[in-house]
Structure formats: C-alpha cells, structure tokens
Structure 1
Amino acid sequence: MVTSSLSHESPIIIVGAGVFGLSSALYLAQAGYTNITVFDKQPYDKNAYSTADGADAASADFNKVMRMSYGEELDYQRLAWDAIQVWRVWNKQISSSSSHDLPKGLTSSDKVWNNCGFLRMSTDDELTQFEKSTLENITREGLRSTQFVIGDPDDEKRAPHYFREGEWHKKSDPFHRRRQGKSLAGVFDTTAGFVEASKACTWTMHLCRKSGVRFVLGEKAGQVSFFVKSPDGNKTIGIRTADGKEHRSEFLILAAGAWTPYLFPTISPMLETTAGSVVYFQLPPQKDAPHLWERFSPDNFPVFAYGGWSKGAGIGGFPRTSDGIVKIGYRGTKHTNYEEVQDQNTGTKHRISVPKTRYWPHPSEPTITKQAVEAIKAVVVEALPELAELGIAGCRNCWYIDSLDNGFIIDRVPGDGGMMVCSGGSGHGFKFLPILGREVVNIIEKPNEKSPIAKLWQWRTKSTGPKNGLEQGESGPRNWTRQEMATRRDFNFGETAKL
C-alpha cells in the first residue's frame, strides 16, 4: 500500500515552472505545505514568460484556447468548467489590484481570460461525431443554452437575444461564407475563448510567491542535471543543479513539459516531445488599418477551428493581440526530433524526441515545416484573404509533451516513493492552470483513494486503442529528418492570393 508520509514542513521540489509546476506549487501551498521550491532553467522572473524576451516553453505564449468541448471525455469537460470559474476570479483580482501589487508584465487593465467564444466550423456541412458527443455531454450538465449550432432553427432564433447587435453574424461566420454562397455548419461555444498564456503564468507565479513558494530560476542555479537517489537507489531524495549544488527533498514533482523525457528518459515509452507549428501575421499600425484592427478584435472575431476540432486540416486561430498579431496554428501533424540522450542516473543511452527551439540547446532560428506553412496558407487564402495580403511575419515551433493517449500522466513513479511525474499536457493542458494543482494535491494526499481523475491520469501503458503517433517512433513519418523545412520564400502568398 502506498502511503503519503509528507508533513506540511516536508521539503518539496518541483522541477518546471510551467502550467503543471505552477499549479501544483500553488495548491500545495494553499493546502498548508510550507517548504516548496520550484526550479527552472529559464529566468521567468526577468522575462515575465515573454517569448519576445527569451521565454522558451509551450506555457510561454500569446494565447491558448480555453474550451470545455471534449467530446465523450466528460471528466475533462467538468474540469474545464471549473477552470473557467477561477479564470473569471483571476480577472477580477487583477483588475482590482494596484500597480505596485502586480508583478512585472502585468497591469490592472490586463485580462488573463477573454471570453470571446470559440467557433468550431465544419467545411462539409456536417457536424462531426466529436461535436455531437460534446453537445450531448454539455446538455447533460445543463449547459446547452451556452451552445449555438449554426443552422439549428431554435439556436438561430435565440441568437439575436443572446448576442450584442451584429455580434452573432460576425462571430458565427467570420470567414464570410454565407456572403460567398458557401455552406456553413458548426458550433459556436459561448463559454470558450482564449487565455493570455504568458500573463497567466506570470500571475500564477505571483500568487505562488505570495503563498510562500520559493523559485530558483536561471541557466545554472535552476537547471536540473541529476536526480539524487537514496543509498539503495530506490528513492529520489533531491536534485543536483548545473551549478553543482545539491538540493534535498522528501518529495519531488517532475513537471518539465517538453523536457520531461530528456530529464527522465524512463518515461519516454509513455511521453513524447512533439512540435506544433504556428505562424504570425502582423497587422499594420492601427491608425493605418483601423478596419483590420476592428475586424480581428476579440469583440468581433472568435477563436476558431477550421474544418472541425477532431478532423480536417488541423488549423485553428485567434483574434489579434493588443499588439496586432494574429496567430494561426497547424496541428494536423506534430513533428518529432529524435536524438541520443543519456540518462544521467543510470548512464543508459536512449533515442528520444527532444525540443529544438530558438534558444535551446543553442541559439538558432529554426523554421517550421513546409507542410505546415502550405496547410495554413491554403486556409488563409480561402477564408482570410486580408491576411494573405499581409504575408506571414514569423513562425514558431511550439514544443509540447504528448502522452500516448493524449491524457495527462500525474502519478508517482512506480517503485520510487520520492518522485511524481506531472506531465503529458498533449497540447490541451494550459486551460487547467487554475485548477490542475487541486487534483495533484488530492493524488498526493490520498494515494490509495483513486478518484476518477486519479485513475484517468495514473501511470500506464496502452497497447490497444487510439494512438496519437507515439507508437511510430523514430522511424515514423513525423520525424523532422524526413521533412522539408519552410523558407522565407514559402511565407509569401503570391499575386493570386492578393486578387
């Protein structure tokens, strides 16, 4: 029987200051644990999780989708609904704070949560089974009134009474398909929208600090190079950082996102580092193009999935940021980067996928695949020609950590009473930042009382059922070595797109 012998004074180390690490730290502190230290190699205290200032993780980004649409996965839907309630509270707390009470990177006018809605649009005039299952579960929870099925007579009839004047037509058809005589089908989710990721992490770190959590950040002091084991080798009892110092723990939570398998290769059969592809369009200055700023404002433009959420081209996008940046992502294929990694504890060498970012393992300017660029360009030409006229301003590989079934892994390492893995966000974890740690504390404190969530996230292998590509390994078609990478020339749309 597994027992939780932690006292509130037990030293707890959390490796990783992204979504999973921050949320775990916050809820542990709120549960009364007083000796929590978070380590991360990135100086988030200095760059406020801003990618423009060097922040280099999936948790550091302009925006992330906030949705509770999860098909048949009712547990995730309920967690998302809980998270929305806290996102709302955080907005109010930030707006009521004075400037000197807020951390670097936040002002009282900032909102970490924007409820602009989410359009999941079909291009074949039919709702997917995923959408049908989502509607069934949302109806089951008494929230059907928050969903609007495009073309449904009842929903179309009540829309003018729910939305501001003109808002329904702008957000249900942002691509002007009706005007072009094209089919329009899909679901508009009024509970959804986006969260400002970098600002949300900055706020959560601020809450952690106020609750007594310590942070050790930076390339030397915050970077883990070795897990310290007990004399018999069976229990993790701390870490050694890149500056040569050892830090002891009674319990360690590994929440390193895309770097999790790199630090702990034992987990690689269950977790794989993958890259989602993102491009950016920069609007002209507002004074020069007020119509574009108005069109792509969150007040008028929704978060969108083009061609459905579970099938199609895997294209989704966001309203503009306050700086006039429109982000569009491609997740039709998430790519891998296999390299040889040595387990620093055992000396065993593994071939696993690891991140290759703008800043790590050394400064570079990696581009995204031509496949991703062409897929995004095709949708932009068809649906958002105004952006085609501007051209792609930049790109980013967003390195996620995928589990083999897209569910999180939050559980003790088997046979190691001193270590837990808290990872496997699989591209949908950010929305749970406000409540994920609640479940982590429950899993830690009640190891033998497996809640439905604890069972969902337990240590596992999966030999049958749906896969996400993890089973393909290095020889699979997603490997970067088999891709043609985009060039600056590929970012151009050509004259045809501008007609």
Structure 2
Amino acid sequence: MAKPSVLIVGGGVFGTSTAYHLSLRGYTDVTVLDRFDVPSKDSAATDLNKVVRADYPNPLYTKLGLEAMDVWKNPHSIFSGMYRESGWIMGAHDMTRGWLESARNVAEAAGRKGVPSGQAVLRMANAARSNGVKYSCGDAGYVRKLIYEGNTCRGVITADGSEHFADLVVLASGSNTATLVEAKKESEAQSSVICVIKLEPHEVEKYKDIPIVDDFEQGIIFPPDEDGLIKLCSCRTVTNYQNNRVLGASILHSLGDYPDDGCPKEIEDELRQFVREMIPELADRPFISTKLCWDALAGDLNFRICPYPESKNLFVATMGSNHGFKFLPVIGKYVVDMLEGKLGKDWADLWKWKFGKVPDDFQDPHPYPPRDLAELTGWKSRNALGNGKLPWTWSRL
C-alpha cells in the first residue's frame, strides 16, 4: 500500500526532523515548504549554538533527551563531529533557587553539552534531500493560507499563488502558527535575545575552555566557537502583540523582513550587567551582532505534536517552547508515530492540544514575565548601526 503524501509547513527543527524520519520510513512524496532556505531565518534553531541536555524533572523528556544525546555523540551519525563537551555552571537567585535545586539533582547525571545549531539543521535537511525529500523556499515556499474542503485540510496556498495538495498537512510553523490556524490560547511567540561578542585572537586561548554559564534569571554565556564568537542569551523574553497582523496573538518579528532589528536597549543593559558579574573584562565589548530569536511557547512549555483539533488531515508539530532543538535527531520519529497513529499514550497526553489550559501546579523556570517589543527601545535598525552583522546562516558542514 502506497504511503500518503505529506506537506510540511516549516523547515526548522520539527519540520526538518519530521521530513528526515518520514524518508527513513519509506515515504516518497514529502515536501517541506518554508519562506527561507535551510536553515530558515525564522527558525529558532538558526543560531550559533544551543545547549544539549537531558536534565528534566519530567522523566519522559529525560528519556527523550538521552535518546537524542546518543545520536549527537555517535561518530557514525549524520551529526558526527558537532557534539562539543563543555563544563556547566548553573546559577539562581531568590526567585529560582528551588528550581535550581531540583534541576541540579537531574543534571548531575545527565550533563549539558553544546552543538552548532544552524549547521545541525542544515546537515539533517541535506540528508533528507538525499533521501528524496523536496524543499521549496522563497515565495514558492511561503505558506499564506490553508486550503479546506469542508472541515478537511487539503493543502496550502503559497505567496506566489501556487496551490499545493497532500494527503497529510503538518504545521511545523513555530512562532508563525497563529497566522495559519486559531492558536491564540495555545501558543505565544516569545523571543530570546541573542548578542555576540568576538574575541581578539590572543583571547581565544584564554576563554576556549570556559563552561556554559546558565543563570535562570539573567542569561546564558556560551563558550567561544571556532571563530572566537561568544554568544550571550538573555533569559528575559519578548513578545510581539502590537507589531503584527494577527489581532490578539503574539507572532514573530521576522528576521527576514527586518534584518537590521536587534537587541532592545533595556535587555542590553541587563545582559551587560550579567557579563560584568561573570567575565568583567568582556562586559563593555561591542556586540558584533544581535538577534531576536523567536519560538512558539505553549502555556505549559510542552510541545504540541498532535492532530489539530478543528480540522481533519491537519496536524501540528510545533511549540518548541525554547527547549526543542536538542531533540532534533529524534523528535521527527515521534511526529511520524503520531501521523501513523502509533504514538504512545504517555507521549500523546503530554503533547496533545490543551486549549490553553495550564496545570495549577505548573512552575516556570524563568519567573520574569515577558515584555512586549512595543514597550522596549533601541531595537529598530540596531544592527545597521554596528560594525558588522552575522548572516545567521551557514553553508559549511
């Protein structure tokens, strides 16, 4: 019996991993549509590097994290050479001290490492292409509308006016999801703010072995990469309710549309104070580039890998909730299980559509509420004023 055709909207972590695992299971008609080529400018994973960890209080995520780490570390996997051993320092203040204690107990066994995230998505996408998956980008991949026949989703319309049809449509559309389906109660686009410092050649040796420094209330400092770039990430996130076309929803402020927009002044001040406490001599270095790194967050911070409840033949694999990248090697396997009706009950309950409901005992590890982009200053055309900016895309493998 022939496998169904599949359209995947979004070429980030969830979309790329799903495409790759579909190709491994014999699906021969799989198309990924994204406005941008891999790694997509709008994907949360299009970044210098990400932390790979398995320290979760929920044993299902710990199991998933350890499964992914086995692939990251495997010298024969498609990610060979990308996994970087690193030390790790966790920090907290009064608001997150309890979370720190519980996280430490798990983390001592699981550990944290680093992976060049944009390159990893590109490598997996190339493997999917080699297996026959088709990718379409530009206006031909920019999905603007879904096609329905009654209550059944039949396909999509892209910005060039083309219609694409498939037996199954999967929305792996991240922080753009609310532009395609009703998801205001389920998903909120939030952005972490990324700033990059370039070390002088003589400093690379000095700092090359620093650990990941993770403060739940302030931010994260990453070790330098092979180009001497140190990434800083704020733990204070940003929403975008006022500068978008979907009333009542927060959606991404696209890097593709606004490549020069970057770090708000208020968050820069907070990040510099954090660096001043950790590595004082780097606190006042100019940022060679900054970025708003958007992801879709569910209220309970769990993914949504499930049928979309209001339509037939339409599925979602999204809401990475700022912790999805590390599962890139394996998450697509679970999406395919869901499409085939084989997803285990524990996973299905964890990742089902919850209509905005959040458990009464839910605790957010980052306690400060997000601020809306419209309330902040200094971010418009921020990168155009600097000495240079990163392309946030990679061709090297």
Work out which of the residue numbers 436, 457, 472 in structure 1 matches 2:351: 457
Match of 2:114 in 1: 194
Q: Report how far residue 464 of structure 1 moved.
A: 4.9
8 A contact 1:280–1:328 mirrored in 2 = yes
SS of equivalent to 2:236: strand
Match of 1:352 in 2: 249
TM-score (norm 1): 0.70
- Note the 1:5-20 alignment, pairs <5 A: 8-20=2-14
- Note the 1:38-49 alignment, pairs <5 A: 38-44=32-38, 49=39
In terms of Rg, which structure is larger? 1
Deviations 1:217-245 (A, max 9, x none): 2x211111221111xx2010111111211
Unaligned 5+ segments in structure 1 are: 1-6, 96-109, 139-143, 147-188, 343-349, 493-499
Match of 2:157 in 1: 240
Letter in structure 1 aligned against 2:224 = R
Letter in structure 1 aligned against 2:35 = K
8 A contact 2:9–2:169 mirrored in 1 = yes
- Note the 1:12-161 alignment, pairs <5 A: 12-44=6-38, 49=39, 55-70=41-56, 72-89=57-74, 91-93=75-77, 111-122=81-92, 128-137=97-106, 146=109
Q: Report how far residue 400 of structure 1 moved.
A: 1.2
Flag the 1:281–1:482 CA change in 2: closer, same or farther, 3 A. same
CA distance in 1, matches of 2:288, 2:241: 25
- Note the 1:352-391 alignment, pairs <5 A: 352-360=249-257, 363-391=258-286
Q: Report how far residue 263 of structure 1 moved.
A: 2.4
SS of equivalent to 1:279: strand
Flag the 1:12–1:224 CA change in 2: closer, same or farther, 3 A. same
CA distance in 1, matches of 2:250, 2:30: 30
- Note the 1:425-436 alignment, pairs <5 A: 425-436=320-331
* Identity across matched positions, percent: 27
Flag the 1:209–1:340 CA change in 2: closer, same or farther, 3 A. closer
What count of residue pairs does the alignment treat as equivalent?
A: 380
Flag the 1:336–1:85 CA change in 2: closer, same or farther, 3 A. same
Q: Does residue 1:281 correspond to 2:275, yes or no?
A: no
Q: Report how far residue 477 of structure 1 moved.
A: 6.8
Name the Cα RMSD after superposition: 2.9
Flag the 1:406–1:123 CA change in 2: closer, same or farther, 3 A. closer
Q: Does residue 1:303 correspond to 2:212, yes or no?
A: yes
Deviations 1:452-483 (A, max 9, x none): 111100011315523769xx9xxx97222222
Q: Report how far residue 56 of structure 1 moved.
A: 3.9
Flag the 1:255–1:246 CA change in 2: closer, same or farther, 3 A. same
- Note the 1:203-222 alignment, pairs <5 A: 203-217=123-137, 219-222=138-141
Match of 2:292 in 1: 397
8 A contact 1:404–1:468 mirrored in 2 = no
Flag the 1:364–1:433 CA change in 2: closer, same or farther, 3 A. closer
- Note the 1:308-323 alignment, pairs <5 A: 309=216, 312-313=217-218, 315-323=219-227
Does 392-401 or 328-337 show the bigger shift? Answer: 328-337
CA distance in 1, matches of 2:6, 2:159: 19
Match of 1:226 in 2: 145
Letter in structure 1 aligned against 2:97 = T
8 A contact 1:74–1:137 mirrored in 2 = no
Flag the 1:326–1:87 CA change in 2: closer, same or farther, 3 A. same
Unaligned 5+ segments in structure 2 are: 387-397
TM-score (norm 2): 0.87
Letter in structure 2 aligned against 1:10 = P
